[in-house]
Amino acid sequence: MTGPRAESIVFGFGGLAIGFLAALVLRRIRRNPAAPDAARETSAVPSLVEQRYAEVEESYRKLFDGSVDGIYVTTPDGQLLNANPALARMMGYETARDLIEGVTDIANTIYVDPRVRSEYQARMARDGMVRDFEYQVRQRDGTVLWLSDSAAVVRDEAGVIVRYEGTVRDITDQKRAEEAVAESRRRLQEVIDTVPAVINVKDVNLRYVLMNRYMANIFGIEPEDAIGRTTTDLMSRYGAQKADDNDRRVIASGRERGFYEEEYIDSSGTMRQWLVNKLPLRSADGEVANIVTVALDIGERKRVEQEMREAKDAAEAALRNLKETQNSLIEAEKLAALGRLVAGIAHEVNNPVGISLTVASALERKVATFTEELERGNLRRSNLNDFVETSRSAASQLVANLNRAAELVQSFKQVAADRTYSDQRPFDIADLTEQVVMSLRPSFRKKNLTLKVDCQPNLIMNSYPGPYGQVLTNLFLNSVAHAFPNAHEGEVSIRIQEVGNDHVEILFADNGCGMTADVRRRAFDPFFTTRRNEGGTGLGLHIVYSIVTSRLGGRIHLYSAPGEGTRIQIILPRVAPAELQPGSA
């Protein structure tokens, strides 16, 4: 095959050198016939060259037709001279001939944006070639493709560009993938920009590949300005070295750094506290490719924690002061109860002592009269008998009243000693109860109240007599003060009996006014009283509850209703806990 068609086919594949060489040799032989003595050589050369040329043409035609990339030849003004089948299929045509005949103006028929053709031509004129020049084209049915074009110019002997020869690849899928990646990245950026935490990604060279806006705003930069730069480039004054050191640890270990606290100065110069974690992202081969950093601002949490610590310290100090005050009030209440006990005992002792004093005074006068009569010598038997009888009666009254006073004093001494020394010791609960009741009877008589005691005899306990006496005293005095507000006659009773082999039940009851549900619910609370305006402290029953449940190791239950009186049940172990429990009275 010779002539223009053969040259066009060769040029259509890109102007390959061997094709040009064959064509040039053929032309030169034809235009330059040799002298007669060389006629034989010249007659043989054309047939040889044409044979070689045909072989080369056939080989490159196969490559031209079988290429998966599109191959084209165009003129500078946009006329398509040649194209291979791959380009025809790429553009939606049946054959290359259909494509060549169907496209008359490349700039306006093929290019989506004709201005891109102008840029293409400018580059070809300037550089003589383009490499991976990307642009969009329309297929025959209007579908838009992305192509990557690599081409070179062909000039004539005068250096004028006569055509462009190049290859194109369909990169539509690649572009779509890139767009999908870009869209995913954009959405990822939008998502992390909404998170109120510092988020960034760096490569192994510690250059940012991603940064959210929260971090950018804190450090006074734009996210896009951070890409490709290091922490030192952007934030040298904010403590970049600390961040870089931790990044290097993650790269070296290949493991998550774990949450740790760090301080950095923000763009306003404020020191801020952060809870930071760094973890590696690995490539397909398992090597660390990136470092992800997430940091939460814990400054507010730190401030709250500090405030909570201060509030806790203040509350604990207030609680200590309250406990000290409460203990002081409890001790004061105990002393007040003891004072009321002393007043009752003093009043009770005053009666026999007063009677004894009266009898003794009368006896003294009688002795003086008897002595005078004896000295005058006019003593008669009747006077002697009267004196003897009077002396016998006085002695009897003195002994009885002084014994009564001694019993009261002894009872008070025992109760006072038990209150003062609360060591654990064995005692008969009936005897101890009787001693306490004896000291309290004067208070009941003044209130016109009846006191009944029913104790099972020979109930020996190994417990704390002082706290037990305090319980009874507080129960009796609380009943006197609250159960009978209108000075009505009433009855208070206490019954003590064994429960099983190891416990004792104490039932304290009155037939007074009773309690409402709210008062009953709060009766054992410290400082709760219904008589605060009358000097009540609200500690009487609280002391009872505290001693029974802590010191004596027992249980206490309260039953009461308005108009139905009050009943308190106390269950105590016969052997009290050996150690003083926290919170005991």
> Can you give the pLDDT at residue 115?
92
**337-349 confidence digits (pLDDT tens):** 556 556 555 656 6
Task: Give this prediction's pTM.
Answer: 0.41
449 Cβ partners below 8 Å, 6+ apart?
A: 480, 484, 489, 490, 491, 492
More confident residue, 580 or 489: 489
DSSP string computed for 435-472: HHHHHHHHHHHHTTEEEEEEE-SS-EEEE-HHHHHHHH
* Lowest mean pLDDT across 152-156, 244-248, 507-511: 244-248
130 Cβ partners below 8 Å, 6+ apart?
A: 120, 123, 124, 149, 150, 151, 166
For 52, the enclosing helix (H) or strand (E) is: helix 39-66
**170-211 confidence digits (pLDDT tens):** 999 999 998 898 888 888 888 888 888 889 999 999 999 999
**472-507 confidence digits (pLDDT tens):** 888 888 888 888 877 678 889 999 999 988 999 999
> Can you give the pLDDT at residue 412?
56
Instruction: Count the neighbouring beta carbons within 10 Å of the beta carbon of residue 81.
Output: 16
CB distance 223 to 199 below 8 Å: no
DSSP 8-state code for residue 550: I
DSSP-derived pairing of the beta strands 449-455 and 490-499: parallel
pLDDT band at residue 71 under the 50/70/90 scheme: very high
More confident residue, 446 or 554: 554
> Can you give the pLDDT at residue 12?
40
**221-240 confidence digits (pLDDT tens):** 888 888 898 887 877 656 56
